[in-house]
Structure 1
Amino acid sequence: MDSTRPATTETPPFDRLAPAMIVAEPEIATEVSGALEFLGLRSEVVPCDEVAARITDTEWSAVMLCNGQAHGPALQAIDAAQDGPPVVLVGSEHAVPGRLKNLHSRLLGRVERPLRHAQLVPLLGKLAQRQANTRDVELFRSLVGKSEPVQHIRRMIRRVAPTDSTVLILGETGTGKEVAARHIHYHSLRRDGPFVAVNCGAIPADLLESELFGHEKGAFTGAITARKGRFELAENGTLFLDEIGDMSLQMQVKLLRVLQERRFERLGSGRSMPANVRIVCATHRNLDQMVADGTFRGDLYYRINVFPIEMPALRDRREDLPLLATELVARLTAEGQSVVSFTQEALAAMARHDWPGNVRELANLVERLAILNPGATVRPRDLPRHIRIHARSAEASATHETGCHPALDMDSMLDRSSDGEEQLVVGPEDPEFGPGRGLKDYLNDIEEQLIRKALAESGGIVADAAKSLGMRRTTLVEKLRKFGIDRLGFATES
């Protein structure tokens, strides 16, 4: 994993900005503050007659001015603040008088009501870039939302970021562990230093030592020049050790020594160098069980498990899915790709899916739908079969409540025989059957679900998934092509 990212899409996290002043009537103020809240930007509603007193006694990131409701004295007070904050107009009613030149010079832009995420993100990004330290737009991915699990993660990050404590981020693949690590770095006292990430599971064991600690010229065959390791590159910053659970026992010993002594040596060198870095680790594995099994050193585990953070799976924060989908669409739009939107029915079907690949799986789906449906509105029929089935399930449930057909229950379709083997159970009244939909389509849905589950459990490794499914690897590859499944959406990366 590269330690650098393109600099073209960098913006700071909005929750590091000063609060925004909202000048609006109560109904509109509630709408504006709610929209800003889920992006992490704090705000305060200030009555028009208090603007003059508050505009200078508080540090504001911006004035969200619903100009149709702002009285003359409020506008004059905002204009009179020579070093005042930038101004964002909300709504299209009325124009700001041209005589208020100071206010006009600070106009950052305008957003229309109802407020949309795609409008707010670029505009607030401009606000954030006014600060000295820019931040990666990737920070918003996965941590967008109002759910309690996301709010808890944000609170944990705010507590630990200002310290230099080692952090261990746990969670399933695709939950955004690297995103959380970047948040910790950019909220820390080391924010001006580098953020360097290395995937311990993606680098062969015999090369990982050189990757982390660097090497001198001639240290081994092929070392034609000296090379800095990730510890040196992360000096005065943060080193993110991703998938540390995949590190070999031999390498674990060497890492433990560096963490204890805070010094390291390049391969082929006898000179000890200081390791002035903050360590953040991540893994999708159960380290407690690995310690019990002897595949992960207990002393290293206790060294890195100073402040654990558990990233929630997407299925545990389903209420955030509409906001996440909107954020992902906004990111694609900012990159010049086609706009796509979703009906409420489509979002409801997506929310019922378990998302074994978590936010990464959702991001892949949104990008795929944007390519297939440029500028269109995605309906349930446009969703992949394994997600579309949830829309049909909801319809079946509604029918069942009226005394007609029973609801479709995916879990009840599998029953166990006397020898413990899972068998497919179908009933003649199952709503999935009927004109235009026969047994073949129904079995395809089940097969696709099982393949996705196997890929999620194997971390996207096709050979392991094929083994668990009891089929040849080449057969599974053909089925992935048949169902349009991208195994990379299940790969074990943060």
Structure 2
Amino acid sequence: MKGRVLVVDDEVNIRETISDILTDENYKVILASDGNEAEKKFLFEDIDVVILDILLPDKNGMEILKKFQKDFPIIPVIIISGHADIKMAVEAMKIGAFDFIEKPLSIERLISTVKNALMVKQLRIENINLKLKIPEVNFIGKSPVMREILDSIEKIAQSDASVMITGENGTGKELIARILHNKSKRRFYPFVGINCAAIPETLIESELFGYEKGAFTGAIKQKKGKIELAHKGTLFLDEVADLSLSAQAKILRVLQERQFERIGGHESISVDVRIISATNKDLMEEMKKGNFREDLFYRLNVIPIHIPPLRERKEDIRELANFFLSEYNSKNNTSLKFTEKALKLLEKYDWPGNVRELKNFLERVFVLSESPLIDEKDILKNITFPRSNYYEEYEGMTLKEAKIKFEKQLITSRLLKYDNNISKAAESLGIDRTYLHKKINELGIFSQKENFGRDV
């Protein structure tokens, strides 16, 4: 199908003739006999081009043209009339008509004008989006598992198949969804996201499907829902496992029939939207519990993407840290740098909050840093490493070897924490200064010996 054309004319023969001509050219044709019907079809159908008779029984064609131009300026309107004159044609073109064709219609002229109008509509869309400058979205990661995911994005983006993204909180599920949208043919249309867990069950359906005026107390005017706003684009259902069973049934209908009704409405609204979902829950387990519909799961999970937690791809931590550092330096006109030891320390931590935790942590480190060089001291001041990380390091050691290593790590950590202030480090360890000096010499902690011994 080349496009959808709305034909508005009060003469049955004219409507049917235009419909036959354009249908043969592989256009989808929607018919309206007057202005009121035209406005209704315009609201509930996905229209690419309008062919409008200037003289209608209920409304003046010029008035309808003005309304269409005001509400939907991106859609070309072709004016037709058997009563054409130069003055009327000039007025229609001034208002914004794409072209003016006089009856009786020339088949060749009609076909070429509709074809050109469709091309102009696409150019208008591209022009708008170039002005908006679709932001470039990048996912940082060089680990094999992330490279495999990122390499498949291009191919997945070109499909309209539903995608289910799974992974722990903070792994970057929405980022992947946005990359899919930005690389797809839908990139010039909206990316509309909704967090299903953040909206109360009583409100989720009105947010998704919208409502008509008077549908419930407080519905003082019509409101379009997220699905309708995402028309031609992408709908991102974050935390989809938290949808109520009622909302799940309605989403299933959208996927099956590409139609829905606003709350309080009776008109079925057609919608063309790609759905990308995300969850941090085990949907197989949720289905067993009866919390998630099996038929909806298979509709949403056509292409599954699982993003592993950061602790399972630690080779990405260094790249992420440098990326966030570069971002911060650019925004704040600073020139901070990491030491190698600081980066290695970041790689030792498991980051239970994943990329989100790493980003927030580093922002705190950047803000509080007193030197352009970020070292272990800056990291240790702001983070507590879980004990399990240390136990793994002692695997295969004798008790004596483990004791020496532990003492060296602990004393070094405290010295860094207190900026090599011997008195404060000794006090925190529960030993006197003399004994701490002795342990420093015994354990060979000489990297910053010239600074040791400060009491203030």
TM-score using structure 1 length: 0.53
Which residue of 362, 368, 372 maps to 2:364?
A: 368
The separation in 2 between residues aligned to 1:400 and 1:435, in whole angstroms, is 30
Which residue of 171, 175, 180 maps to 2:171?
A: 175
- Letter paired with 1:222: G
Partner of residue 268, structure 2: 272
* Partners of 1:345 and 1:391 within 8 A in 2: no
Shift of 1:290: 0.6
Shift of 1:387: 4.0
Partner of residue 327, structure 2: 331
Which residue of 147, 150, 156 maps to 2:152?
A: 156
Partner of residue 135, structure 2: 136
Please give the root-mean-square deviation of Cα atoms over the aligned residues, in Å. Answer: 3.3
Shift of 1:392: 13
The alignment partner of 1:406 has SS state of helix
Q: Percent identity?
A: 42
Residue by residue over 1:263-320, the C-alpha shift from the partner in whole angstroms, topping out at 9 and shown as x without a partner, is 0111111111112001000000000111111111111111101000001211121111
Shift of 1:209: 0.7
- Letter paired with 1:136: P
The separation in 2 between residues aligned to 1:312 and 1:213, in whole angstroms, is 33
Partner of residue 106, structure 1: none
- Letter paired with 1:305: N
Larger Rg: 2
Alignment of 1:372-383 (within 5 A): 372-373=368-369, 376-383=372-379
List, as ranges, runs of 4+ consecutive aligned residues in structure 1 with deviation greater than 6 Å.
Answer: 130-133, 390-396, 398-403
Shift of 1:432: 3.8
Query: For residues 431 and 154 of structure 1, do their structure 2 counterparts lie closer, same or farther at Cα, with a shift above 3 Å needed?
Result: closer
Shift of 1:190: 0.8
- Letter paired with 2:148: H
- Letter paired with 1:174: G
The separation in 2 between residues aligned to 1:305 and 1:264, in whole angstroms, is 21
Partner of residue 125, structure 2: none
* Partners of 1:396 and 1:408 within 8 A in 2: no
Residue by residue over 1:28-64, the C-alpha shift from the partner in whole angstroms, topping out at 9 and shown as x without a partner, is xxxxxxxxxxxxxxxxxxxxxxxxxxxxxxxxxxxxx
- Letter paired with 2:226: R
Query: For residues 398 and 344 of structure 1, do their structure 2 counterparts lie closer, same or farther at Cα, with a shift above 3 Å needed?
Result: farther
Partner of residue 195, structure 2: 199
* Partners of 2:394 and 2:402 within 8 A in 1: no
Shift of 1:401: 7.1
Task: Report the structure, 1 or 2, having the larger helix content.
Answer: 2
Shift of 1:196: 0.7
- Letter paired with 2:308: P
Residue by residue over 1:404-441, the C-alpha shift from the partner in whole angstroms, topping out at 9 and shown as x without a partner, is 541799xxxxxxxxxxxxxxxxx9x79647944448xx
Partner of residue 256, structure 1: 252
- Letter paired with 2:242: D
Alignment of 1:474-493 (within 5 A): none
The separation in 2 between residues aligned to 1:408 and 1:230, in whole angstroms, is 61
Query: For residues 338 and 399 of structure 1, do their structure 2 counterparts lie closer, same or farther at Cα, with a shift above 3 Å needed?
Result: farther
Which residue of 147, 161, 164 maps to 2:143?
A: 147
Query: For residues 431 and 188 of structure 1, do their structure 2 counterparts lie closer, same or farther at Cα, with a shift above 3 Å needed?
Result: closer
Alignment of 1:389-408 (within 5 A): 389=385, 405-406=401-402
Q: Indicate the structure whose relative CO is greater, using CA pairs within 8 Å and at least 6 residues apart.
A: 1
- Letter paired with 2:210: G
Indicate whether 1:320 and 2:316 are aligned: yes
The alignment partner of 1:224 has SS state of coil
The separation in 2 between residues aligned to 1:430 and 1:373, in whole angstroms, is 25
* Partners of 1:380 and 1:391 within 8 A in 2: no
* Partners of 2:250 and 2:260 within 8 A in 1: no
* Partners of 1:194 and 1:237 within 8 A in 2: yes
The alignment partner of 2:211 has SS state of coil
Which residue of 214, 237, 240 maps to 1:241?
A: 237
Alignment of 1:390-469 (within 5 A): 405-406=401-402, 432=410, 435-438=426-429
Query: For residues 285 and 396 of structure 1, do their structure 2 counterparts lie closer, same or farther at Cα, with a shift above 3 Å needed?
Result: closer
The separation in 2 between residues aligned to 1:168 and 1:384, in whole angstroms, is 38
The separation in 2 between residues aligned to 1:315 and 1:408, in whole angstroms, is 28
* Partners of 1:339 and 1:370 within 8 A in 2: no
- Note the residue ranges of structure 1 that are not aligned, 5 or more in a row: 1-129, 410-426, 440-494
* Partners of 2:181 and 2:234 within 8 A in 1: yes
* Partners of 2:348 and 2:389 within 8 A in 1: no
Tell me the matched-pair count: 289
Which residue of 288, 295, 298 maps to 1:299?
A: 295
Shift of 1:136: 2.5
- Note the residue ranges of structure 2 that are not aligned, 5 or more in a row: 1-128, 412-424, 431-456
The alignment partner of 1:308 has SS state of strand
Alignment of 1:1-400 (within 5 A): 134-137=133-136, 139-140=137-138, 143-336=139-332, 338-373=334-369, 376-384=372-380, 387=383, 389=385
The alignment partner of 1:309 has SS state of strand
Shift of 1:337: 6.3
Query: For residues 135 and 334 of structure 1, do their structure 2 counterparts lie closer, same or farther at Cα, with a shift above 3 Å needed?
Result: farther
- Letter paired with 1:250: S
